[in-house]
Structure 1
Amino acid sequence: MFDKLKIKSKANSVASSSAPLTPGKPSREDIYRNRQNYGVNLGGCFVLEKWLFHSIFPEGANCEAEAVAKLVEENGEDEARTRLETHWTNFMSDDDWQWLEDHGVNSVRIPIGYWEIDGGRFTKHTKFEPFGHRVYANAWSIFKKLFVEKAGEHGISVLVDLHGLPGGANGSDHSGEHGGDGKAEFWHSSELQLLICEGLKFIVKDLLDYENICGIQIVNESEFADNPKHQKVYYGAAINLIREIDGNIPIIISDGWWPNQWAEWVQELQNHNNILGVVIDHHVYRCFSDSDKNKSPQQIIDQLPADVLTNISKNGHGVDFMVGEWSCVLDQSTWDKAEGGANHKRDELVIEYGNRQLNQFMERASYGSYFWTFKFESGNGGEWDLKTMTDKGAIKSPLPNRGVQVPDGNSYERAKEDANNQQKQSVDKNYDWNRFNDGFTMAWKDSEEFLRFNGSLIGRIEATKEERLRENSTERGTPKRPDEFESGYLAGLFQFRSIV
């Protein structure tokens, strides 16, 4: 009972974010935290998955907790630690980081387990407690040195994804352990939630000096809940504790397979003067449900505009989304329904599928997307594999090239005139054009600074727009109609993008 009251007390009155951008010229850290990400998951590294790297798993083990327990039992803690550390340290080569940079990948989402935080410090009363602090003693330092720092050397950001939670956030193997009867026990244990909140505080504090940390994901693929009361308590507590240490780092939550549910939650908790600083993570897979298995490839492709992040409250106003996982995979039963047979024009359809998905994500998940995944132990992963899909032409960076030129002053003037002419078609005579043009100019200047840093684009559009509106209100007084500034900001942002 004490733990339940304690976690609820920490979740009261969810804290808002401090300013996501520095007034005037954004800093490099601002840009890392707020740009659009074209990224990839480093799946199977710090959270083991048998289908990605099978040789680490002893016979009969299906998740990391089972695998490491058997390794310790059969070979001892020292050997188990050596096996894991060899896996982590060899996972990414210098050539891999260079390949990502050369192909426009500007961010990596790295799934980690709670058992690795500070060398196993946060494993009390969990399945990793018997061996966590010894087997994982060096995990956190390896993560920082060989992943966070290496990524930074290439201008690549790191999204720290707390993928594995004690008891599991869902009933799948990729949580690192199984809950009782395959259930997600995390949501029903205040003790475990408090443990992870303390772990999150450590993560945020320990990574403060790294400017290329673009966000902290506090859960991966939360189980669906019609009434998500447990998730709301954990999300609120985690946000509050993180905000005590870092006022504006993006905090990523799972949409639990119902994006609008969490869009409404964010909208309820924030207004123009109170930005929550949360990004909602949505995953897009069209290879698992019976509904998708009963469709042809072309049907799935054609239905993407109606399937991806639609029917969002207030058209998503004030809410930033990302797609944390996606692939080019379709089930074999779907391919069997292809016109002309399963192998007829398969490559062409895969290419169309990948490109159409990325187009949707650019439009509706402006914080970015992360392909699943980058590495496989044996060969390549086909339509799960970033390199294979890149070589095929199914995916490529939608971002400007590094070193692209910033548009000149004449381009700005023409774009502003075009934006004004377009806006005149839908406004009345009392429209405040000064506010509209303030928004346009601020968006243009922000976009210039982002572009100068390796061809970056503004990604957290809602957060940056609301922050610049707040600054404008402070300087010029509270506007009667905030949408005048907001419309100008969006016009400036998209006019700029159309040029670069």
Structure 2
Amino acid sequence: MHRLSKLFGHHSDTRPPPPGPQGVAAFPAEADCFRYRKQRGVNLGSWFVLERWIADSPFQSAASPAQSDLDVARGGNAKEILEHHWDTWITDEDWAWLTAQGINTVRIPVGFYHVCGADPSVLPGTDFADFQHVFEGAWARITGALVSAHKHGLGVLLDLHAAPGKQNADSHSGTSSPHPAFFAKQANMKHTIHVLSALLSHLTAFANSYTPPLPNLVGIELLNEPQPGAQSAALEKWYLDVFHALRAIDPSVPLYIGDSWMTDQYADFLSRSATQFAVLDHHLYRCFTSGDTSTSASEHARRLADPNEWAPKMFARVSQKLESAGCALVVGEWSGALNPGSLHGEQNEADARQAYVSAQLQMFERYCSGWFFWTYKKESAGDKGWSFRDAVAAGVFPGNMALTVQAAVVDDPGHMARRDAAKDKALDEHATYWNQWPGNYDHWRFAEGFIQGWDDAWGFLSTSASHPGAFVQELGFRGPWAKRRAQAHAREKGDGNLWEFEHGFSQGTAAARADFVTTHC
């Protein structure tokens, strides 16, 4: 069993915990450790959903225009070409290397047709109806990825990158057609719910077939970069329909939705609609527009670091709104890529690139529950902007993205005394502030929340610090975690003045992290 299973010491054996309310496993379970920790990840781009600019060799026998998965399927020797690619693009060496860099989660883009090996009914009526024999072998590789990732302590976010009818005009949505029909035909939207239901059903069945069950599926992303245009209301309704369908299958699996670059709108949507663990995914690139081209790399970095600029203000606003609603924000795609125009006039290109990447990371670390670099690698080496492996090799990607400990945290009995002192100080400040106004308060709830928040945050931090230089896993999805803790508190002690527990919990998690960094990092 992976070391994370020992978090908090709540379970001493390897049996799955008993079901809790609404069929959700007891909290926290091992799966919670993977799902709620801060995700520092990469996309395994062009493993299953192919993109020619990343991996060219699978397209050598593809049908014209040779840009998409469907083009490869329509070409010669497609089954053999794809299965060779699936078996060689990501190997055990890749999993081990990622772990050594401090990566703890991967986002894996898949197409609906990759699910046909588990459920052939995902194909009829689609552009891929005649290609079951080509893609049916993908399922064994997808489930194998879950096993291999777990062996290395990595979580897996499965992302539906290509839906029936295409949700955007790009070739990475499965076909080379420039006319997406996902929103134009209700049948496509309905069929995609069937696809996602099949994906989750078969994934959970596979994970549960292990003893103990595999705990490292951190979520399902419902749709990559949907472009609804005037159909935004239809997308919101579709998201709600998918929530209902997938929660009926497994209510514990986090569900991620794309924001269509309308981040405030979909943050509002989740805030009023999400009843369980839901995450908003925002993608951020600064190399495509004329404005990006005319902005220098150093100016891009400055704007990302300045809290008064648009991007940091948006991230601060949205993350706070989502966390308060028990949801979370991640950046599912970003890169170090810059338009050549942004590097004109920079005295040192390497330094400018590193400063740009560092500014993005610092913003994501401050405001987000997780981030995923696009992409892990390219077939042609040397791209320091888009290839994580090349960015690391060139020193463009900084090595300080995750906390590390100076020595193994075997025991720290003094942290309890520090916790209680911090709690007393915070409680005194809390009570002094609110007692200025007459009212009926339950300040004891603040104290209980502080203790619970400290203990939970400390549990994540200390359990993963097993040796000098270890990458520390920390509580990242504070909104969903706090929501579950508050619900448990309310069930046990009533929900009067529950806000005091929530305030205490938030301060306790922050105080524990600050104390751990000071003491052990």
Does residue 460 of structure 2 align to residue 450 of structure 1? yes
2:233 pairs with 1:229? yes
TM-score under structure 1 length normalisation:
0.86
Cα distance change on mapping 1:192 and 1:55 into 2, 3 Å: same
Deviations 1:285-327 (A, max 9, x none): 1111222222122221121243144443974321311100011
Task: Give the partner amino acid of 1:361.
Answer: F
Question: Normalised by the size of structure 2, how large is the TM-score?
Answer: 0.83
Deviates most, 229-238 or 324-333: 229-238
Q: Does 1:372 align with 2:374?
A: yes
Cα 1:60/1:165, change in 2 over 3 Å:
same
Aligned mate of 2:57, from 55, 58, 72: 55
8 Å CA contact 1:260–1:313 kept in 2: the answer is no
Q: Distance in 2 between matches of 1:484 and 1:447?
A: 18
- Counterpart residue number, 1:9: none
Give the match's secondary structure for 1:216. strand
Mapping of residues 361-440 of structure 1, within 5 Å: 361-366=364-369, 368-391=370-393, 392-396=395-399, 398-401=401-404, 404=409, 408-420=415-427, 423=430, 426-429=433-436, 432-440=442-450
Shift of 1:86: 0.5
The equivalent of 1:312 in structure 2 is 318
Residue 124 of structure 1 is matched in structure 2 by 124
8 Å Cα contact 1:399/1:457 also seen in 2: no
Matches within 5 A, 1:98-497: 98-119=96-117, 121=120, 122-131=122-131, 133-145=132-144, 147-179=145-177, 182-208=178-204, 209=208, 210-223=214-227, 225=229, 228-270=232-274, 275-304=275-304, 305=307, 306=309, 307-308=311-312, 309-310=314-315, 311-312=317-318, 315-316=321-322, 317-318=324-325, 319-336=327-344, 341-342=345-346, 344-366=347-369, 368-391=370-393, 392-396=395-399, 398-401=401-404, 404=409, 408-420=415-427, 423=430, 426-429=433-436, 432-454=442-464, 455-480=472-497, 482-497=498-513
Count of residue pairs the alignment pairs up: 460
Structure 2, unaligned stretches of length 5 or more? Answer: 1-20, 209-213, 465-471, 517-521
Give the conservation status (yes or no) of the 8 Å contact 1:21–1:30. no
CA distance in 1, matches of 2:93, 2:104: 15
Which stretch of structure 1 is more off in the superposition, 322-331 or 371-380?
371-380
1:137-192 per-position Cα deviation (integer Å, ceiling 9, x unaligned) = 211011112x111000011010001111122111111112144xx23311222212
1:227 Cα deviation (Å)? 5.3
Paired amino acid for 1:199: V
Instruction: Please tell me the residue identity of whatever aligns with 2:259.
Output: D
- Residue segments in structure 1 that go unaligned for 5+ positions in a row: 1-16
Shift of 1:468: 1.1
Partner of 1:64: 69
Q: Distance in 2 between matches of 1:214 and 1:175?
A: 23
Alignment check: 8 A CA contact 1:188 1:230 kept: no
Q: Deviations over 1:318-356 (max 9, x none)?
A: 1311100011111112222xxxx14x1221121121122
Q: Could you tell me which residue of structure 2 aligns to residue 7 of structure 1?
A: none
SS in structure 1 of the partner of residue 183 of structure 2: helix
* Cα displacement string for residues 30-89 of structure 1 (whole angstroms, at most 9, x for unaligned residues): 1112211000000011000000011221363112212321x2xxx3xxx31111011001
In 2, Cα distance between equivalents of 1:327 and 1:421? 45
Q: Which has the higher contact order (CA 8 A, sep 6+)?
A: 1
Q: For residues 424-473 of structure 1, what are the alpha-carbon distances to aligned partners after superposition, in whole Å with 9 as ceiling and x for unaligned?
A: 67543455431111111111222233235533222221111111111112
CA 1:29–1:277 in 2, change beyond 3 Å: closer, same or farther?
Answer: same
User: What secondary structure does 2:352 align onto?
Assistant: helix
Q: Find the aligned partners of 1:453 and 1:386 in 2 and give their Cα distance.
A: 28
Give the secondary-structure state (helix, strand or coil) at the position aligned to 2:159.
Answer: strand
Instruction: Among all aligned residue pairs of Structure 1 and Structure 2, give the percentage whose two residues are the same amino acid.
Output: 28
Q: How does 1:8-19 map to 2 (within 5 A)?
A: none
- Coordinate RMSD, CA, aligned: 2.3
- Name the CA shift for 1:468/1:350 in 2 (closer, same or farther; >3 Å): same
